[in-house]
């Protein structure tokens, strides 16, 4: 019997997808290697981390 794929809700946000693209890419590679499927939250609210200085 094959192992069940783990699924997690994931909100990469604008920082991971824009300002820190390597974070987004490495998260994708790592979770795939571990057999984890990320379900991106499309309508999540902004976390505000892009506004901190």
Q: Rounded distance, CA 10 to CA 37, Å?
A: 10
Domain boundaries, the chain: 6-43
**Token pair recorded at residue 3:** 């192992």
**Token pair recorded at residue 45:** 């609210």
pLDDT averaged over consecutive 10-residue blocks of the chain (53 residues)? 80 80 91 93 76 61
Q: What stretch of H or E contains 25?
A: helix 21-33
Taking the model in full, what pTM does it have? 0.69
- Residue 28 makes CB contacts below 8 A (sequence gap 6+) with 38
Q: What stretch of H or E contains 8?
A: strand 6-10
């Amino acid at each position: 019997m094959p192992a069940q794929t783990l699924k997690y809700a994931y909100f990469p946000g604008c920082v991971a997808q824009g300002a820190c693209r390597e974070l987004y890419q490495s998260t994708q590679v790592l979770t795939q290697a571990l057999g984890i499927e990320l379900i991106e939250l499309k309508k999540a609210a902004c976390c505000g981390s892009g506004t901190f200085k």
